[in-house]
Amino acid sequence: MGFRRHGPFQPGDQVQLTDPKNKRHTVTLKEGGVFHTHKGSIPHDDLIGLPEGSVVRSSGGTAYLAFRHLLQDYAVSMPRGAAVVYPKDAAMIVAMADVFPGARVVEAGVGSGALTCFLLRAVGESGHVTSYERRDDFAEVATKNVQKFFGGPMEQWRLVVGDFVEALDENDVDRVILDMLAPWECVDAAAKALTPGGVICCYVATTTQLSRTVETLREHGSFTEPHSWETLIRDWHVEGLAVRPDHRMIGHTGFLVTARRMAEGVVPPPRRRRPAKGNEAAT
């Protein structure tokens, strides 16, 4: 299946309709179908053949702007089995873990499939993503969400139902992404799967999980010094010269940790820590 359709709307496309109040509706087009709303109905045939960015009117006279929806919009609105990875964190995972076209990526904890969609987009047609998920119900939801977004099964994706440590059957992978409650339990398996120079990226929710993950990576001895952070997003309201931050923002959703796999048998240089001011010797 393709990664992105271009040109006029076609049957099977998922179209996002936005009304004047910026309320969005996602519609999967089919010949003879009708989108119903309290503001009137819109026949799908009115959309089929139109270019993206067109305006259609409901039978009640309301104008809707029509685009194929973006992955970021789909991710936050998809049916959920588990919590989804928010676009701000998925973007940081793709960027900071350096997920590139053609990469071989292993993901543990598929959730509802949101991050999987971002990873598949990033690796492209020449790459491959293998996802491991313990729960059958989560795997089923994720499969439906991924296939709905891309329009069918993806040759670049393999979903394995089972424990990551026990079921992992790959080596020389470029990236390992761990989105689970206890990623520290999977560090050794990830180290064995990663090629030298590869990146491990862990997504955790609490400071306790963050601390244990970082210390496990340090103690393992096969990784560089872990890098930890979180990402916050604040929108801005702009109306002429009235420019101010919005009152609400997307704050904490999770912490991210990345580290790189060193060559086999290499001992990392000892860390040099700057002592706290209170511990500095008196001069």
> Residue 101 falls within a domain, yes or no?
yes
- 182 and 227, same structural domain? yes
| Known binding residues | 112-115, 133, 163, 179
- 206 and 108, same structural domain? yes
Neighbours of 170 (CB within 10 A): 15
Model confidence over 185-215: pLDDT tens digits? 999 999 999 999 999 999 999 999 999 999 9
Total domains in the chain come to 2
- 218 and 80, same structural domain? yes
Contact 13, 28 (CB under 8 A): yes
- The confidence score (pLDDT) of residue 278 equals 65
CATH code: domain of residue 115: 3.40.50.150
CA dist., res. 229 & res. 72, Å (int): 21
The tokens describing 279, both together, are 């511990």
Element of type H or E holding 42: strand 40-43
CA dist., res. 226 & res. 271, Å (int): 11
- 35 and 144, same structural domain? no
Q: Is 70 exceeded by the pLDDT of residue 4? A: no
CATH code: domain of residue 32: 3.10.330.20
Q: Is 80 exceeded by the pLDDT of residue 253? A: yes
Q: Is 60 exceeded by the pLDDT of residue 282? A: no
Q: How confident is the model at residue 81 (pLDDT cuts 50, 70, 90)?
A: confident
- 174 and 55, same structural domain? no
What amino acid occupies position 195?
A: T
Strand 128-133 to 157-161 pairing: parallel
- 81 and 41, same structural domain? no
Mean pLDDT score, 244-273: 88
CA-wise closest residue to 129 among 170, 68, 187, 162: 170
- The confidence score (pLDDT) of residue 221 equals 92
- 162 and 31, same structural domain? no
> Residue 26 falls within a domain, yes or no?
yes
Helix (H, G, I), strand (E, B) or coil at 221: coil
CA dist., res. 116 & res. 137, Å (int): 16
Q: What percent of the chain has pLDDT over 70?
A: 95
Containing structural domain, residue 58: 14-69
> Residue 158 falls within a domain, yes or no?
yes
| Greatest CA separation for the chain | 84
> Residue 3 falls within a domain, yes or no?
no
> Residue 4 falls within a domain, yes or no?
no
Q: What percent of the chain has pLDDT over 90?
A: 73
Alpha helices for 151-273 (secondary structure H): 164-167, 187-193, 207-220
| Known binding residues for S-adenosyl-L-methionine | 112-115, 133, 163, 179
